Amino acid sequence: MALVGCGSALPAARVSNTDLSQRVDTSDDWIRSRTGIAARRVASAAEPLTLLASQAAEAALAHAGWEAADLDLILLATSSPDDLFGTAPRIQAAIGASGAVAFDLTAACSGFLFALITAGQYIASGAVRRALVIGADQLSRWVDWDDRRTCVLFGDGAAAVAVEAAAPGTTDLLGFRMRSDGSRNACLTLAQTTETEPLLGDLEAQKGGFAPIQMNGQEVYKFAVREVPQILAELLEHTGTDPGALDWLLLHQANQRILDAVAERFSMPGERVLSNLAHYGNTSAATIPLMLDEAVKDGRVQPGHLLASSGFGAGLSWGAALLRWSGPQG
């Protein structure tokens, strides 16, 4: 699999920490010092996930120099779909990729990495030649805006990566690891509510609906600083890669303190650790491709660069992949 293009799209409205402090009892100083976040984007009702994800998809197609008709597969990683039956087909229609099969994949903040690895397997098998992997979330729909422990962390965004079959014997997905631990699911949930309605006699039908995000921040923090260095170390060992050979650490953007802890474990200097948390907060499945797109477009990530990536979050789920960027410069 070769990584050959990327693109992103963000909602227009920017909400700063100071803006948020008008809604909940918090402060710019608390949020910045505990998380590194200064602002986030919040989608309006006129910016549904389908729209942002389609814009990101079109930008990635243009960057790769492809037509929508070239696509065989569209994989949408999201936990906040416009339609629980699947949002990827709406994107397929919006961009006119009539020949592509399109479906959603849900693994919260690990979703993009899991989807990229999944696309890599379809390509490796020969079933798919060209695919778009999209990470898009609008968790603003699902946070409790009166809960200061969670609402300050999340933001909305969408980003996509174009991948295709590589020349025989080569790949930009140089290795990967994926893990889940459902026994710790309660640490971070966006769960179905248990409301029911009488149907027939004693039979109660469950009503659809989800409760706002519930998170045990300290447990998730401990999980991340323990498991992410561990899975990255396994990945580097498995691929025989010296940390010194990495050009970039491309981690899920959840908290600057988590990025710093992982960087320290691998003695990576801060300037090699990609971070845009300050501008966008945690955009869940979108963080990794959004960060990649920014760093490719501003010229930090160059053709041939080696990136160690890790996604982690609800599930609990986590994973890591060793990637090479082969797309155009800038």
Binding site for ligand UT7 (CB under 6 A): 26, 30-31, 34-35, 109, 148-149, 152, 215, 217-218, 220-221, 224, 254-255, 282, 313
Q: How many CB atoms lie within 10 A of CB 14?
A: 15
CB atoms within 10 A of CB 13: 14
- Supply the minimum distance, in Å, between the C-beta of residue 35 and ligand UT7: 5
Choice between 66 and 223, CB closer to ligand UT7: 223
Angle at 52 between CA 48 and CA 57, to 5 degrees: 140
Tokens representing 313? 């979050």
- Quickly list DSSP for 140-153: GGTS-TT-HHHHTT
**Shortest distance, CB of residue 215 to ligand UT7, whole angstroms?**
6
Q: Which of 63, 252, 255, 279 is catalytic?
A: 252
Residue type, 318: W
Residue number, 71 or 152, with CB nearest to ligand UT7 = 152
Closest-approach residue to ligand UT7 (CB) = 217
What distance in Å separates the CA atoms of residue 69 and residue 76, rounded to the nearest whole number?
A: 18
Task: Give yes or no: 282 in active site.
Answer: yes
- Catalytic residue list contains 185: no
Which C-beta is closer to ligand UT7: that of 88 or that of 152?
152
238 catalytically annotated: no
Q: Helix, strand, or coil here: 73?
A: strand
**Which is nearer to ligand UT7, 8 or 284 (by Cβ)?**
284
What are the tokens at 240?
């025989």
Distance (Å, whole) CA 326 – CA 167 = 12
Element (H, E) at 9: strand 2-9
Is the sign of the CA dihedral 107, 110, 111, 113 positive or negative?
negative
First to last CA, the chain: 20
Of the candidates 109, 187, 255, 279, the residue annotated as catalytic is 109
In the bound state with ligand UT7, the residue whose beta carbon lies nearer, of 150 and 326, is 150
Nearer to ligand UT7 (CB atom), residue 148 or residue 177: 148
H runs (alpha helix) in the chain: 17-20, 28-35, 49-64, 88-95, 111-125, 148-151, 217-239, 256-265, 277-280, 287-297
* Shortest Cβ 31–ligand UT7 spacing (Å): 6
The interaxial angle of helices 287-297 and 111-125, nearest 10 deg, is 80
Cβ 64 vs Cβ 162: under 8 Å: yes
Active site positions, annotated? 109, 252, 282
